Chains A and B, each alone.
Chain A
Amino acid sequence: MTYLAKSPWILHYDASSCNGCDIEVLACLTPMYDVERFGILNTGNPKHADIFVITGSINEQNREIVKNLYDQIPRPNVVVAVGICACSGGVFRECYNVSGGIDKVIPVDVYVPGCACRPESIIDGIVTALGILEEKRTKMVLDVDKKEHRHAGLNPDHILSTGGVQ
């Protein structure tokens, strides 16, 4: 991928992290790492978001909230689990209140390890997520096209992909 076709927005939620990863996610936005120059913006509204960046592990109280936020993000979307807590529960996995990684509740597309994650690896994870996002989008467009073709009585296998990564 050499350039971005779209400007993806991020929704960040802190499930039950220790903050270490959160502040590194925020650090990605600030002048030193500055992902905003790629058009990646942090938003507080799930309906604006494409990428769901989530730190920390699932516990009893945030299970519903994570699910709820995920459901509100328009499709296609990608979920990036940042930090070893979000991947598997990390150092806290044996705690009574921790159920494990984010994938216990919602499907995760990219796992970013590290405790705390370095901003570089977070950016790397988000860039990987962009690729997956494009793939999902292409597939979604294709599916819609196929459906329309079928309705029009045409062979759905005869269309080529539209959009997608240039």
Chain B
Amino acid sequence: MMAAQVITPIGVGDVVSKAGQAKKDGYRLVQIGCTKIGDDFEIIYVYDKDFTLLSYRITVKEDVVIPSISSEYFGAFVYENEIHDLYGLHVSGINIDFKGTFYKTAIKHPFNVTITKEGDSCQNK
């Protein structure tokens, strides 16, 4: 059994400062992931140092603009573009902003909608 993982809740305003702090403390960015729960979106920022995880969670509504941490971590652009394309959330100030062309999907913002395929579960088109 491995150690339990703690995810600290923070506010949207703290995202960038926490990222800056993590960078100063020598953490590397592991991932940013989004989960939709009811009408809320949970975004989890995960950093790692010597195999110890540091995780922050923000919970936002759809219309909130999330600040990008790509000024601290250059590599954050892949995750932030992904969140924009799959969930339709807005992230401001990404260093390489694909503006919705990172993933091209049949349904816009697929993780934000409930998809029902009628009859045959395959799209068949």
Contacts and interface: CB of A to CB of B under 8 A. Distances in A.
B121 interface: yes
Interface string B96-125: 000000001111001000010100011111
A97 B121 CA distance: 12
A61 B121 contact: no
B104 A89 contact: no
A90 to B, nearest CB: 10
A60 B106 contact: yes
A140 B104 CA distance: 39
A164 B105 CA distance: 44
A96 B107 CA distance: 7
A128 interface: no
B100 to A, nearest CB: 13
Interface stretch (A30-38, A98-106, A130-138, A146-154): A98-106
Interface residues of B, number: 12
Contact of A100 (B105, B110, B115, B123): B123
A96 B86 CA distance: 11
Contacts of A99: 106, 122-125
Q: Which DSSP category, helix, strand, loop or mixed, fits chain B's interface?
A: loop
Contacts of A104: 124-125
B122 A97 contact: no
B122 A60 contact: no
A97 B117 contact: no
B54 to A, nearest CB: 32
Nearest to A93: B122
Contacts of A94: 117, 121-122
B120 to A, nearest CB: 9
Contacts of B106: 59-60, 96-97, 99
Contacts of B122: 88-89, 93-94, 98-100
B83 to A, nearest CB: 17
Interface of A: 59-61, 88-89, 93-94, 96-100, 104
